[in-house]
Amino acid sequence: MESGPAIFAGTAFALFGAALLLWTGVRVRYGEPVALGVAPRTAAVLTTLFGAGFLLLGIWCFGRL
């Protein structure tokens, strides 16, 4: 009964984290700004950290099943 919310949360976190990492990688590769009004290196580092964090959180949710 409790595995339903864990599966949903794990999927949401994992998809968001993976998408954020992919989007950041594409923006950095083409030299486009990751976030407007922020230093490019700072924005790339922060979005990479948050993307990895969300991906790990999703994996952790799946590990709790």
Segment-wise mean pLDDT, segments of 10 residues, the chain, 65 residues: 85 97 96 92 96 96 87
pTM of the model: 0.87
Rounded Cα gap, residues 43 and 2, in angstroms: 37
Pair 47, 34: CB distance under 8 Å? yes
The pLDDT of residue 57 is: 96
Are 56 and 17 a contacting pair, CB within 8 Å? yes
Q: Please give the DSSP secondary-structure letter assigned to residue 17.
A: H
Q: What pLDDT shows up at residue 2?
A: 75
pLDDT at 65: 81
- Quickly tell me which residue has 């969300």 as its tokens: 54
- Would you say 17 and 55 are in contact if contact means Cβ atoms under 8 Å apart? yes
pLDDT at 21: 97
Query: Length of the chain, please?
Result: 65
